[in-house]
Chains A and B, each alone.
Chain A
Amino acid sequence: MSKKKQEMSQVYLGTSNEFVFGELGGKGKHLSSFLKNLSLTSTSRKSKNLGEDVNSSIYGNMQYGRVLGEELGNGSGGVGGGGSDELLSSPGSPKLRPKLVGRSISMGTSFAFSGSHGDDSTSINLGGGSSGSSQSGVGNNGGPYKHSNLSSSSHLKSHRTHSNTFYKDLDADWDADLNDVRNKKLTSVKQKDNNNNDPSNKSRNSLSLVDSFHPEIGMVSSLPSLPKRKDEKISSASKKQSLDHEDHRAQLEVAKQNQLNSKYSKFYKILKPGNTIDINELRKLSWNGIPQDLRALIWQLLLGYLPTNKLRQSSTLTRKRQEYNEGLRVLTIDFDDVKTTSNTSSSSLINNKDRQIYHQINIDVKRTNPSIKLYGDPQVQKSLRKILYLWAIRHPASGYVQGINDLVTPFFHIFLHNYIWQVQKKAEAMNNPLKESDYEGLFIPGILDENDEIEAQFLKDPQLIHTTLNSLDTSKISPRAWSVIEADTYWSLTRLLETITDNYIHEQPGILRLVGELRDLISKIDLELSKHFEHEGIEYIQFAFRWMNCLLMRELSLDLVVRMWDTYLSETPLGFSHFHIYVCAAFLIKFSGDLKERDFQEILLFLQKPPTASWKEKDIEMMLSEAFIWQSLYKDASAHLRS
C-alpha cells in the first residue's frame, strides 16, 4: 500500500491559519465537498470511496483494534526469533509500519480460517500487497480442503507445520526483526484459532468486531518486527483478481488499521520524546481527532491542566488533586443525601442558598445522560454531585446552572475510561514485564497507586480485560481512584467554564451575545434561511439558547461530542465560545433545506429534535471543517456582520 494513500486528508489550523488539504490522493475530493458546502446546499454525503470511510472512522471504532491485535498475535506467533520492539522506539521505522500491519492482517486472518474454507484465505489478502498473494499460495499448495483436513487431523502438529510453511512464504520480503517476547504470549491465541475447524467461526475470527476495551495502543506496540528471510516467494496473484465482498471489507479493515497506526505514530512523536511537549504541534494534530486511549492525556495537556513540561507534571497534579480534596473537606454537605425534595436536609450546617444549590444539582444529576447506564450508577452520581457542588460553591458569581451537569460528563467519561485503560495496561505489563515501557509518557501521572489495595484487586480481576464503561462494576474502583478522577474532572471543567463564564452569570449575557452572533452569521452565510426564519417569526433564542447553554450536547450523542471537543480543545482560544458559533452555524445550515420548507411550529419541533441519531464522526468532522472555513472567512469581519 503506497504511502500517499495512507495519508489522511487533513484540514487543520496551521500557525498561519491556513487551510491544508494535503498534497495528493483523496484530497481533491474533500476540497470539492467543501466547495459544495460553501454553496450552502445541505446534501447527504455518502462516502463513495474507501479512503473517506477510512478517514472518518479512525478513532471511533476501536473494536477493530482488538481484531488486529489478536491477529497480529497469530501472525508473529509462528515465527519465533529474536528482536526488539523496534518500531516504537526507532524514529525511522514508522515508514515501515503500515506495510507491516497490512501484512500481518493478511496473515492473521488466514490463520484464523485455516480450519474452514480455503477460499477464505484468499479473500482476505488485500492489504498486504504482494505478500498477500504469496500467502494464498501457501494455503493452496495442497488445495484448501486438503489443508483443512490436515489441520483437523492433528491440531497441534498441523498448526506448527502450517505456521512455519506459512511464514516462510510470507516472510519473503519482510524486512524487519521479530519481536520475540510478544510471540510467546500470543502463540497460545493462535493455537486456539487454529484448532478451530468450525466454519461458523469464520466470521467471528475474521472481521467481526470483537468487543474489547480499545486496545489500539497495545496493538501499535505489538507491531511485529519480522525477520528477513530469503525464502522463495510464491505468487498466485490470479486468485486475488476478483474483489468479492469480503475482500472489500478486509481492505477496509487493513486501511483503517494503517490509518490508525500512522495516526498513533504521529501522536507518539509529539508525546514521547524529550521533557517538553510541543503544544502547538499537539494542537495541530489533535484538531483532527484524538485516538481514544490518548484522549485523557491530551485533553489535560490542551486544557493547560497537565503541564507540558514532564518534570512538572507529577507534582502539579498531586497538588491539584490535594486542593480538590481539601476543597471538599471544608464542605459540610452530605453527598450521600439524595432526597429529591429540599424540604428537609440532613445537614443543618449549610445555609439555605447552598442547600438550594445542592438540591438543584441533586435532581439534575439524576437526569444526566439517562440513556447511558453508567450515569445511573450511585457512585458515579455521587462523584458528579461532588464535582458540581464544589464548582458551584467556588464560583458564586454564576453558581450552578442547569446544563453544566451535561458539560461535566465528557471529562468524567474520558477520565474514567483512562483509569480503566491504565489498569488494564498495567495488568498486561505485569504479565509481560518487558512491555511496560511502551506506555511511558502516555500514562497521566498519579492515576495508579501501587499502595492502593482495591486497585491491586482490580488488577488481578479476571474480568478486568473485558471491562468497559458500560459493564463497569464501580465498586471495583477504590475511593482513592474516584477522588483522582473527580479532581481531574473538576479542574478540567473549571478550565472549560473559565472560557465561558458569562454564559452562566446573572441574565446569561454570554449566551445572549452568542445567539445574536449566530443570527448575524446566518444572515451572512444563508440569507434565504435567515429571511425564512424572520418570515415565520422564529427567534434564534427560541432554539439556539440550548445550543449555547449545553454546547450542542443535547443535540448530539456523547461520543460525537467527545470528538467535537478534540477540536474545540485544540482551538486557541479554546473553542467553546467563539468557534462554537461557527459550529452552530454549520449545524443549522446542514438542515437549511429542510427548514426552509417548514413553518414556525415545524421549525421549532424539528430543531428541538434534529435528526442526528444516525450521525457518525465523519458528519461531525465535516461540520467542524465547515465551521473552520467560516471562521476564517468571518472571524475578523464582525463589523461587516452588523451591516
Chain B
Amino acid sequence: MIIVLNGELTDVTEETTEELRQNRFPDADTVIVDGEPVTTDTGLEEYSRVYICSMPEGLTGAITRRCTEGVASALGKATVGIAGAGGLGSNIATYLARSGVGRIIIADFDRVEPSNLNRQNYGLQHLGLFKVDAISEVISSINPNIEVITHAVRIDRDNVAEIFKGCNVICEAFDVASEKTKLVEAVSSLLPGVPMVCGSGMAGIGDTDTMNVRRLSDTLYLCGDGISEAWEEGIMAPRVAVCAGMMANKVIQLISKKA
C-alpha cells in the first residue's frame, strides 16, 4: 500500500508499524502515526502518515539537540508552574515544552473560545475544551515525554500551595491586575523562596522595545512594558508573545542558574 513515510509517498509491503520499524529503522525508539505517537504495534492504512524517529539520542534528545550547552539536563529535571493558560500561559507552556522542561503544572478555570485564538496558542480543534486540557494536547504533540499536570480550577490562596508544590519556578500568567497582585502575595508568603516571573503590560501594537525584564528581587521578576492595559488598547499576539518569550527565557535562566 501507499503510505507517507517520513514525509515521502512510499509503496510498502509491510502492514504494521512494527514490521516497518524492524525492517527499515531497527534502532528507532519512536513511531508517530497521523500525528500521534504509538506505543504498540499498529496496523497501517492507505495513506497513513508515518514518521519513524531513528535518532540515536531518542525523541527528547533530538528535540533538545539544539539546546544551549549545559542547559538541557537542568531543564529536563525541572518542574515549572504556570498560573493561567491564556495569552501568556499557553505560549509560555509551549516555549518551555519546546525547550525540554521535564514537568509543567498548569492551572486555569477557563475554556478555549474563538476570541482566544488571536493570541493564545490554541487551534480550532481545541474550542470548548478546558484550556489546561488543550495545552496538554499541544505539549504532547510537541514532546509526549513531558509530564503535564493540569488543574481546571480558579487559583486562590487556599489551593495555590498545593497546586504548585514542588515547582522550581512559578509563572504569573493571569489577566486581571488585582489577581496578579494577589498571586504575588500568596506565592511569596506560602511558597517562600520559589522564584516567580510575572507579566504586566503587553497590550496594543506599540513598539516592543518598550518591554523589558525587571528584577525586583532574587525571587521576583517582571516582564512587559508595565503600562499598556489590555482593555484600553486591545491585545495582540506579537506583543503577548514577546512578553511570554521574556518570561520563558527568564524561567530557563533561573533553572540553569544563569539568571
Do these two chains interact?
Answer: no
On B, residues with C-beta under 8 Å from A are none
Residues of A within 8 A of B (CB): none
